[in-house]
Structure 1
């Protein structure tokens, strides 16, 4: 990952210090240094990594392959004439001018210097075997006969009776290129559809998240998008320099560099020359000794700083144990958060937010920052439902879940997260869901959230800029470090769990500690601990255990994802509730109408937030013009997400290259649940007054429902 080039003293928490605190120098003296704020030409104040668009740009595409990729990207986001004629009345967002839209329509993807980033993203996100196939496709498209072959796969004939009879993809007229991509999108071959989906999604994400020298995206004015959250736009230098909640007990291991040893030693941790019991496994893993390697001994090492790791850190540190928490991502306090979509996804989400199952059928979101998923989620907090607890007790013999002890544990979490049921104001999307359900006579309710009733933030997907959302970085990790017994090390990517071997059984292995890469390497931190906690979430915990050689056959089994599908309804300004879809509390209303009796499996209707890049990546693409028109409607397109409690399950594995592989196919039962929820959600939109509705299915069909009545729905 390409990060901003900054002096370590100017980056927050680089040596475990908050701005304005004293810093040890190499000779034991102290100096006082005001940590510089980061302010770009946009005028926004925040962490440098979150203010600039800096995805990787190094890739393996040859010039010919890159030419093919560029032609594809310019077909997905093409240069077009404006969607209206002179003197014709245009349906634009409030404050948007005809000139804004004309400039937006004129731009194509390659005008914004995103092609290298798209190529690099495809290389980072695809498994090696899939990348090899993709490069072969790009090479074929650089030839006439290859384009003819791949056009035929999309049921398009690119042959011409004029010389040259076969033309490479980049030489085809725009309309023919578009027909080829449309054919891929609806191809009967899953591999072709998957390839198109990846190309479309990453191209759209890159184009609509790219920031220019002014810290803005070229489409924002035309679509009436605000950019950063109001709290970020109004942030001052004084706000930015406030002490961060984790204070000097957060240490950016990458920035601390050689000082990390002395910092940990000064905090009471045992720093040793080498851990003898790790030597044999380190050699077998091919670890080379580096001058910057660090060896530490402590009571507990915890991998992951999210909902599991944070709670464990607090509980153990309060009991007097010396605890080290490792997090692969960076630490961003509220005043660091820029709420800018592109930088937020690159720096706070696993795989830049583009993680997916092996077949591309389910997109996966996982946090990669201090706080883990709790830093980037949407605040909703459910206690374990009674029917779920009863199932665990009756069907699986897990009596603990019917115990008073479990009740007390739930309440303790509830209290620390300040979960409460009230909301001062519903935003556009939640008002639509509530009003539509009300008109249809469907049950609905208010969601409980780990934020106060006045938390009206639509940008929490990229960190909460107010700090009102009670992530573990605001709660449990603060409790842990406040004891003086715990530290949080960011930029530490755990890659191996050390364990002893039993002469009797492979199953009797006992974890001894962890090896983690500092930043991008080559230096590592080796931590020997009496107890090792691996809490990287349902996706990454099995990956680390499998990479570490653990062989329990249950590792990675029974992956449940609560798969979701989304529908949308368009409300032109002057219809429906006021506001824009991305403003305000993200999830505040729900409806259980898709839950299926008596099992209570099935779906809930909720809302989600789609800022422009994610909106463009997830919405169907029927043509270049269709894609841009959808973006013009972005602010007034409301979404309902059907979230299912799934009966089916998948697996987490690693391949020969030790890369994670997530396999998941939606079961027939869960597919029926999703379909039932989608039908109900479309009825809700119509009842609420939408003029057009649709789904996120690949065919992208749109239904004009203006004037339809509830009974018609």
Structure 2
């Protein structure tokens, strides 16, 4: 999308309504440069339909027709006062129509994120100074040179190998080592680029635009924001290092769905090998101020709290530096697959290729023969192989299988997202929520709300100014500014829902994925329990103000205004439909799940697709159901197991 002057003017009006500045130290969004940031971020989105929809919306924004939509009458947005503009936006957010609320959430998310991550003309966003946020640190002078030397092609190229792996994250990286160690010739294709220690420390905006997937940004209905990594090493480069095994009850559930090895030593051994290679330990999980609040509040309620194991080395400071690791670990302490499995695979001869967006698997006579990819400048790459391992993540994996002509009805079904929401507490003491060990404590008090293993868990995570906006509501510019000025004294308790009921992934006419997901009443009830539970934790820990991400603006001040019972009722009334409560999906799973029959699954117990036997899936899309815990270790164990089976067949 090439924005016109009209598009920029319309978006500037919208952004300045959300964030008009204070006329003193904080500039308006357009003055800061937030409009350019939005177009920079949206320009990465490969789906042309999204860009066209935005262009249409911006083209109509200052029309009388939009005035009717916003409840402003036949008045152009440009003729309204700031107060009237804010009221118009709030009416969009409060609309009874889900598509209208989705428009509001998209605009709100773009404006607030862009404002909070834009360095501005001076290179330092004035908001950062106001809240004590340090901003980009730059790379460490002592950072070593990158250890890997991936290939990058600028001319049309054809490679030949035994196995080509699509995706280099938790699944693809693990599979690469297993297959290369078996003596097979392996090529790994990664859509993103390679970044290592010396590339990190450039701040939120640079991290978001280099390390994270360009789209889709959310589900089609506006229910949930989608977050995943796109770089060599995938999500393991940017995740929060939490390393939990698949729960035993979940392993049994998966076994009963037609994959019996999940309940046997085969999968148990895979879990142990993965944990050992990643160096999983709990020696570097001290209480940060964030997790101390979770620990203090939960224990005051008599709830369980456990220490989280993490895949970090002794180089981890588990403090200020650790809090930045969602945008890459400058210390090289996080044992991502670039540090472990991919390094092992490269040492055994595997070829790693970056900037290779795989568009199709070539299938002839029921067998995969090659994959075709494009670089960012359109250069064609063809890799011929005896087998294809697909590990592109639970959005891109089913999209690739569909683009390649596979027809099993379960490809793209059974998508699970672990819907996550947050409740914020404002404290008297400074917390600096962007610092401290990434995640060091968990409470499972509500993990089994139905007696069947479905419920929620409570965790925290490093909260940076940009990330925070994705879990916050907006009821007006003054209220939002006040919340941000309290940011250094705020803490968010995250609620992660083990969703029982799934969504879908399909493709549009150009082959780009479309995610459809609506939180069911069943899962919404569990999420609501978690929202109220998080408020109880914060109150027990001493928060003086507590608020959720409901767009209706649900909050209370313990002992001063309202109560947790009133918060409970208000949150329930505010609802959990699209656009009603801010949610994110940081764990995307299940869309090409393993199982015992083609009627119920997309792949067989070996991970091979029912349609084409030499296409094996080895990533989070393999999950038969949601695991209910952070999925990295489970993904790598499945990839280890499926790749081991494939290696035995090929050898």
Please indicate the TM-score interval, normalised by the length of the shorter structure. 0.7 to 0.9
Tell whether the 8 Å contact from 2:285 to 2:309 is kept in structure 1 after alignment. no
The offset of 1:355, in angstroms, is 1.8
Counterpart residue number, 2:217: 355
Aligned with residue 298 of structure 2, among 402, 417, 437: 437
Q: Distance in 2 between matches of 1:709 and 1:129?
A: 45
Aligned with residue 209 of structure 2, among 343, 346, 357: 346
Q: Distance in 2 between matches of 1:447 and 1:481?
A: 30
Counterpart residue number, 1:109: 29
Counterpart residue number, 1:587: 439
> Is 1:370 matched up with 2:232?
yes
Looking at both structures, which has the greater relative contact order when contacts are Cα pairs under 8 Å and sequence separation is at least 6? 2
> Is 1:244 matched up with 2:143?
no
- After superposition, the Cα gap between the structure-2 partners of 1:658 and 1:193, relative to the gap in structure 1 and judged at 3 Å, is same
> Is 1:392 matched up with 2:254?
yes
Q: Distance in 2 between matches of 1:624 and 1:365?
A: 26
Tell whether the 8 Å contact from 1:687 to 1:709 is kept in structure 2 after alignment. no
More moved, 395-404 vs 690-699: 395-404
Q: Render the CA deviation track for 1:130-149: whole Å, top value 9, x for unaligned.
A: 55454444333323x32431
Counterpart residue number, 1:496: 360
- After superposition, the Cα gap between the structure-2 partners of 1:74 and 1:126, relative to the gap in structure 1 and judged at 3 Å, is farther
The offset of 1:655, in angstroms, is 1.4
Q: Distance in 2 between matches of 1:326 and 1:494?
A: 8
Counterpart residue number, 1:383: 245
Q: Distance in 2 between matches of 1:697 and 1:419?
A: 36
> Is 1:334 matched up with 2:197?
yes
Q: Distance in 2 between matches of 1:172 and 1:380?
A: 48
Counterpart residue number, 2:342: 477
> Is 1:146 matched up with 2:11?
no
Counterpart residue number, 1:211: 119
Tell whether the 8 Å contact from 2:557 to 2:563 is kept in structure 1 after alignment. no
- After superposition, the Cα gap between the structure-2 partners of 1:196 and 1:449, relative to the gap in structure 1 and judged at 3 Å, is same
- After superposition, the Cα gap between the structure-2 partners of 1:538 and 1:140, relative to the gap in structure 1 and judged at 3 Å, is closer
- After superposition, the Cα gap between the structure-2 partners of 1:634 and 1:594, relative to the gap in structure 1 and judged at 3 Å, is same
Q: Render the CA deviation track for 1:332-360: whole Å, top value 9, x for unaligned.
A: 112221251000000100017x7211112
The offset of 1:425, in angstroms, is 2.2
Counterpart residue number, 1:401: 262
- After superposition, the Cα gap between the structure-2 partners of 1:211 and 1:480, relative to the gap in structure 1 and judged at 3 Å, is same
Q: Render the CA deviation track for 1:459-498: whole Å, top value 9, x for unaligned.
A: 1211111111111001000111112x11211111111111
- TM-score normalised according to structure 2 size: 0.82
The offset of 1:412, in angstroms, is 0.4
Tell whether the 8 Å contact from 1:440 to 1:710 is kept in structure 2 after alignment. no
- After superposition, the Cα gap between the structure-2 partners of 1:380 and 1:192, relative to the gap in structure 1 and judged at 3 Å, is same
> Is 1:421 matched up with 2:363?
no
Tell whether the 8 Å contact from 2:535 to 2:564 is kept in structure 1 after alignment. no
Q: Distance in 1 between matches of 2:296 and 2:547?
A: 19
Aligned length: 561
Aligned with residue 223 of structure 1, among 104, 123, 131: 131
Q: What SS is found at the alignment partner of 2:187? A: strand
Q: Distance in 1 between matches of 2:495 and 2:470?
A: 18
| CA RMSD, 1 decimal | 2.3
Q: What SS is found at the alignment partner of 2:422? A: strand
- After superposition, the Cα gap between the structure-2 partners of 1:130 and 1:297, relative to the gap in structure 1 and judged at 3 Å, is closer
> Is 1:465 matched up with 2:330?
yes
Q: Distance in 1 between matches of 2:476 and 2:31?
A: 19
Tell whether the 8 Å contact from 1:65 to 1:138 is kept in structure 2 after alignment. yes
Tell whether the 8 Å contact from 1:381 to 1:448 is kept in structure 2 after alignment. yes
Tell whether the 8 Å contact from 2:427 to 2:489 is kept in structure 1 after alignment. yes
The offset of 1:63, in angstroms, is 3.3
Q: Distance in 1 between matches of 2:162 and 2:217?
A: 34
Q: Render the CA deviation track for 1:567-601: whole Å, top value 9, x for unaligned.
A: 1111133xxxx641110112111111122252111
> Is 1:624 matched up with 2:477?
yes
Counterpart residue number, 1:10: none
Q: Distance in 2 between matches of 1:710 and 1:172?
A: 37
Tell whether the 8 Å contact from 1:565 to 1:696 is kept in structure 2 after alignment. yes
Q: What SS is found at the alignment partner of 2:385? A: strand
Q: Distance in 1 between matches of 2:98 and 2:431?
A: 39
- After superposition, the Cα gap between the structure-2 partners of 1:374 and 1:123, relative to the gap in structure 1 and judged at 3 Å, is closer
> Is 1:610 matched up with 2:463?
yes
Tell whether the 8 Å contact from 1:304 to 1:326 is kept in structure 2 after alignment. yes
Q: Distance in 2 between matches of 1:655 and 1:355?
A: 15
Tell whether the 8 Å contact from 2:212 to 2:231 is kept in structure 1 after alignment. yes
Q: Distance in 2 between matches of 1:348 and 1:476?
A: 19
Q: What SS is found at the alignment partner of 1:682? A: helix
Q: What SS is found at the alignment partner of 1:387? A: helix
> Is 1:523 matched up with 2:379?
yes
* Segments ≥4 residues shifted beyond 6 Å: 707-713
Q: Distance in 2 between matches of 1:462 and 1:79?
A: 27
Counterpart residue number, 1:79: 21
More moved, 678-687 vs 692-701: 692-701
Q: What SS is found at the alignment partner of 2:394? A: helix
- After superposition, the Cα gap between the structure-2 partners of 1:108 and 1:617, relative to the gap in structure 1 and judged at 3 Å, is farther
- After superposition, the Cα gap between the structure-2 partners of 1:529 and 1:130, relative to the gap in structure 1 and judged at 3 Å, is closer
Tell whether the 8 Å contact from 1:67 to 1:142 is kept in structure 2 after alignment. no
Q: Distance in 1 between matches of 2:486 and 2:83?
A: 24
Tell whether the 8 Å contact from 1:686 to 1:708 is kept in structure 2 after alignment. no
The offset of 1:216, in angstroms, is 2.4
Tell whether the 8 Å contact from 1:201 to 1:618 is kept in structure 2 after alignment. no
> Is 1:547 matched up with 2:403?
yes
The offset of 1:123, in angstroms, is 6.3
Q: Distance in 1 between matches of 2:2 and 2:496?
A: 38
- After superposition, the Cα gap between the structure-2 partners of 1:127 and 1:700, relative to the gap in structure 1 and judged at 3 Å, is farther
Q: What SS is found at the alignment partner of 1:459? A: helix
The offset of 1:538, in angstroms, is 1.3
Q: Distance in 1 between matches of 2:472 and 2:221?
A: 19
Structure 2, unaligned runs of 5 or more: 568-651
- After superposition, the Cα gap between the structure-2 partners of 1:670 and 1:121, relative to the gap in structure 1 and judged at 3 Å, is same
- After superposition, the Cα gap between the structure-2 partners of 1:423 and 1:296, relative to the gap in structure 1 and judged at 3 Å, is closer
Q: Distance in 1 between matches of 2:104 and 2:114?
A: 15
Q: Distance in 2 between matches of 1:365 and 1:319?
A: 34
Tell whether the 8 Å contact from 1:73 to 1:109 is kept in structure 2 after alignment. yes
- TM-score normalised according to structure 1 size: 0.75
Q: Distance in 1 between matches of 2:382 and 2:351?
A: 15
Q: Distance in 2 between matches of 1:388 and 1:79?
A: 49
Q: Distance in 1 between matches of 2:410 and 2:116?
A: 41
More moved, 126-135 vs 601-610: 126-135
